[in-house]
A = this chain, B = another copy of it.
Amino acid sequence: MPSPVINFADKLSLFSDLWSPRIIAQMNDYHFKLAKIQGEFVWHSHPETDEVFIIISGSMEIHLRDGVIQLGEGEMYVVPKGIEHKPIAGQECHILLIEPAGTLNTGDAGGDMTVQEVAWI
């Protein structure tokens, strides 16, 4: 089992691959996941759940069909369930995702970037 105190920097030092979230904590039936992102992800939505992005370091954009959300360190955003979105980061950005356990990173879109089994660190 992981240490009960979860240090984001320590956890982020344990992996380097992009667009591949790692689970760091569970609260009831929700998972907290850290991810390193750079470049463009795929358009997708999560029909069953809202999804929270918290920026740990760097900056990113969440493209929506009707606009672009700009996010920097110390900011968060809730993507409402069912809303199509496409994360983009020009430089490497580290984020904390919060969503129900089992939520796929690519939502309803599938494809090569889908992580079927998200590892705990």
Q: Give chain B nearest CB distance to A116 CB in angstroms.
A: 23
Whether, in the assembled complex, A78 has its beta carbon less than 8 Å from a beta carbon of chain B, the answer is: yes
Whether, in the assembled complex, A49 has its beta carbon less than 8 Å from a beta carbon of chain B, the answer is: yes
- Assembly stoichiometry (copies): 2
As a 0/1 sequence over residues 71 to 108 of chain A, the CB contacts with chain B under 8 angstroms (1 = contact) are 10011111001000000000000000011100000000
Contact of B74 with A25 in the complex, beta carbons under 8 Å: no
A residues contacting the other copy or chain, number (CB 8 A) = 30
Do A8 and B49 form a contact, CB below 8 Å, given A27-B98, A98-B27? no
Whether, in the assembled complex, A69 has its beta carbon less than 8 Å from a beta carbon of chain B, the answer is: yes
* Assembled-state Cα–Cα distance A32/B8 (Å): 18
